[in-house]
Structure 1
Amino acid sequence: MKLFFRQCTQEDICTLREFSYKTYNETFEETNTPSNMKAYLDKSFDIERLRVELLNANSMFYFLYSDGELSGYLKLNEAPAQTDINDGQSLEIERIYIAKEFQGKGLGSELMDRAIELANMRKKLYVWLGVWEENKKAILFYKKNGFYQIGTHSFFMGDDEQTDYIMRKNL
């Protein structure tokens, strides 16, 4: 399997929107109401919102291609673009998603390794992320990769207030 990473640009905005929508929906549609999913997807992956995020010098998006096919993506934030914590010594992994048809092939680890590599290049002391308390598969993956829980915060899926664990990995 040949893997290739590429940083997203403004020219990728439609692909980023479609792929974000697809992977998020695949991950959470079974555990949330259709109306809450639609509200979240429409808000979070709005073209103008994504344009602003892509233009933010403190945020980075990366596509992962497997044998030439888009298979996953990362969104990373440095302070002050972080969704919480806002510590200049950290890098937030805001999104890390693999398309359903590519899951189970070790690509999540490839994305995680890329995030850690970028954090080290930027001389960060740690990386952190938020993960829904009900996403047991992801929590196990993060623990396996050296993350531990340091707190919680609220996350809104439409009008449903959910709890995310904040997890950290020291570098």
Structure 2
Amino acid sequence: MDLDFNTCTLSDIELLSEVAKETFHETFADMNSSETMAAYLESAFNKEQLKKEISNPNSLFLFLYSNGELAGYLKVNENEAQTEFQDKDGLEIERIYLRKEFQGQGLGSTLLEKAISIANNRNKRYIWLGVWEHNEQAISFYEHKGFITIGSHSFLMGEEQQKDYIMRKELS
């Protein structure tokens, strides 16, 4: 398997919006109303919102290509771009998504290892993320990778308030 990471730039906004909407929908559509899902996809992944996020020097988006095909993407934040904590010693994994046809091939681990590598290169002491309380597969994956639940926060999905667990992994 030939794997490549490409940094997303403003010229990738169209593709980023498309893959972000697709992967989020694939992951959560079954557990949310279609109205709630549509509203969230449009507010979180519209081109203007993504342009703001990509332009933030404390955020990084990476596409993962498998054998030349876009498999998924990763978004990490540091410093004040983090959605919580804003701790200079931490790196947030805000988004880590794979297209459905690329799941089950170990690429989730590849994306996570890339985030850890970025954190280590930037001398971070830990990485952290928020994961929806009902996403048992993801929670299990992160626990298997050494993350522990350290708290929770509210996540607004459209008008609906949901709960994310905050998970953290110390780095050596």
TM-score class normalised by the smaller sequence: over 0.9
Aligned length: 171
- TM superposition shift of 1:139: 0.2
Rounded to whole Å, the distance in 2 between the matches of 1:79 and 1:21 is 26
1:60 maps to which residue? 60
The corresponding residue for 2:121 is 121
What's 1:47 paired with? 47
The aligned counterpart of 1:138 is 138
- Per-residue deviation, 1:6: 0.8
3-state SS in 2 of match to 1:76: strand
Percent of counterpart pairs with the same letter?
Answer: 56
1:18-29 correspondence to structure 2 within 5 Å? 18-29=18-29
Partners of 1:142 and 1:124 in 2: how far apart?
18
* CA distance in structure 2 between the partners assigned to 1:54 and 1:160 by the alignment: 26
Equivalent position SS for 1:88: coil
2:88 maps to 88
**Structure 1 ranges of 4+ moved more than 6 A:** none
Gaps of 5+ in 2: none
Return the offset for 1:45: 0.4
Cα distance in 1 for partners of 2:58, 2:110 equals 22
Cα deviation digits, residues 143-170 of structure 1 (max 9, x gap): 0111000000000111110000000000
Q: CA RMSD in A?
A: 0.5
Residue 74 of structure 2 is matched in structure 1 by 74
Q: Distance in 1 between matches of 2:140 and 2:86?
A: 25
Match of 2:162 in 1: 162
Q: CA deviation at 1:84?
A: 1.1
SS of the aligned residue for 1:113 comes to helix
CA shift for structure 1 position 106 = 0.2
Distance across 2 between alignment mates of 1:6 and 1:28: 26
What is the Cα deviation at residue 79 of structure 1? 1.4
**Partner letter of residue 26 of structure 1?**
E
Which amino acid in the other structure matches residue 121 of structure 1? N
